Chain A
Amino acid sequence: MIWLAYGFFILGLFFLTFGVIGLIRFPDLYTRIHPAGKGGTAGGLSIFIGLMIYSGLSALTLRLALISLFILITSPVASHVIARGALESGIKPWQQKDKKQ
């Protein structure tokens, strides 16, 4: 059981790492939101699931589940807000054809 928890920790770190790498490699704001938002959500969620398995069934598990639920609600909202703010202040999305310049 404890190895399953460790597996989830490693999975979470994997997602977070690639989230950061994506943040650096992608060309513009809109594409960068994808790895940032998704890496953060999936990575955080995996770590919390790992912690839930690690702690066994107790009050702590319920609290961790609640925190995960809040991550699920707030993380996409943050992504929306950033993307919408960028779009409304007139930042043009990067497109494949811009690559040649």
Chain B
Amino acid sequence: MKIGQLEKINSIIITFIFLMLLWYLFTFSLDPFSLLLGGAFSLVIALATYDLFIEKEEKVQRGILPRFELFIFYLLILLWEIYLGSFNVVYRVITMKINPGIIKIKTKLGSKLGRALLANSITLTPGTVAIDLKDDELFVHWLVMDTSDSNQAAKQIKGNFEAQLGRIFY
């Protein structure tokens, strides 16, 4: 009971701080009226949505905040991969050398958020679009199907995203 109460207050405060930061970022003024208005609305929204903003099971798994420095590192890798993937797709558009197909691969990630991020990352990388996610199975549409073996394909599609995400959301 006591711990539940504490957790509730905790997530309200985190949501409030996050919203307040966003408000400050968008208005960028230290005008007291603006800060008061932002604070009031942040509080109302935090009270209404703290439960949606921070999921319970995620919170239990990894304390309060995800490991931020790893997340930045992951974003940089993702940016690099997006550019590689885009050049790959441009090449396919010009040559029309495509051999599309749908393949089912498995993921080892346990956390829901991690899986969702993995699916998003797969969509952003060379010639693959994640279509569906059922438990730990991902359906991926592949622009150039090199192999029809699920394990082989999984290795190729996931690259080192899964390892990176595994370090952030374990």
A is bound by B: yes
Contact partner of A80 (CB less than 8 A), chosen from B89, B93, B99, B131, is B131
Size band of the interface chain A makes with B:
35 or more
Q: Does B36 contact A (CB under 8 A)?
A: no
Q: How far is the CA of A26 from the CA of B130 in the complex (A)?
A: 18
Count, A-B residue pairs, CB within 8 A: 97
In the complex, residue of chain B having the shortest beta-carbon distance to the beta carbon of A88: B132
Chain A residues with CB below 8 A from B99, complex form: 95-96
Q: Does A5 contact B (CB under 8 A)?
A: no
As a 0/1 sequence over residues 93 to 119 of chain B, the CB contacts with chain A under 8 angstroms (1 = contact) are 110101111100000000000000001
Size band of the interface chain B makes with A:
20 to 34
> Which of B25, B82, B129 is most buried by chain A, counting CB atoms within 10 A of its CB?
B129
In the complex, residue of chain A having the shortest beta-carbon distance to the beta carbon of B85: A38
Chain A residues with CB below 8 A from B85, complex form: 38, 42
B127 touches A34 (CB 8 A): yes
Chain A residues with CB below 8 A from B119, complex form: 76, 80
Give residues in A with beta carbon < 8 Å to B: 14-15, 18, 21-22, 25-26, 30-31, 33-35, 37-39, 41-42, 45, 59, 62-63, 66, 72-73, 75-77, 79-80, 83-84, 87, 93-96
